[in-house]
Amino acid sequence: MLLTTTESIEGKKIVKTIGLVKGNTIRARHIGRDIMAGLRNLIGGEVTEYTKMMAESREQALDRMIEDAQSKGANAVIQMRFATSMVMQSASEILAYGTAVVVE
């Protein structure tokens, strides 16, 4: 599966536009991570616990978007983007979306 944030793929011709595909996940904070994040907030530095959690969330959303695209017969996704939103005070959604296409 080819993924790109641009509207075309160099060297490939879009022969069919399938349409919107998406994948998302919602993650809640974890009390253990909150404790470590609170300590890091006191001494400064990267909050690696949340960095890792967000990276895992993005990968899961991407995987789900790719599954959606494949189930619709696509072999590429163009104009791929991420969006985030807070669902409740301690949980947020990561959404991966783009336009599914067939390229050759």
What is the CATH number assigned to the segment(s) 2-103?
3.30.110.70
Per the confidence metrics, is the pTM higher than 0.75? yes
Of 44-48, 71-75, 90-94, highest mean pLDDT = 71-75
Whole-angstrom distance, CA of residue 100 vs CA of residue 45: 39
Do residues 57 and 33 lie in contact, with contact meaning Cβ atoms separated by under 8 Å? Answer: no
Number of CB atoms found within 10 A of residue 51's CB: 10
Where does the pLDDT of residue 49 fall: very low under 50, low under 70, confident under 90, or very high at 90 and above?
confident
Specify the pLDDT at position 46.
78
Specify the pLDDT at position 70.
98
Specify the pLDDT at position 35.
66
Backbone φ/ψ region at 67: left (φ over 0), alpha (ψ -120 to 50), beta: alpha
Number of CB atoms found within 10 A of residue 53's CB: 17
Specify the pLDDT at position 88.
85
Higher pLDDT, 15 or 39: 15
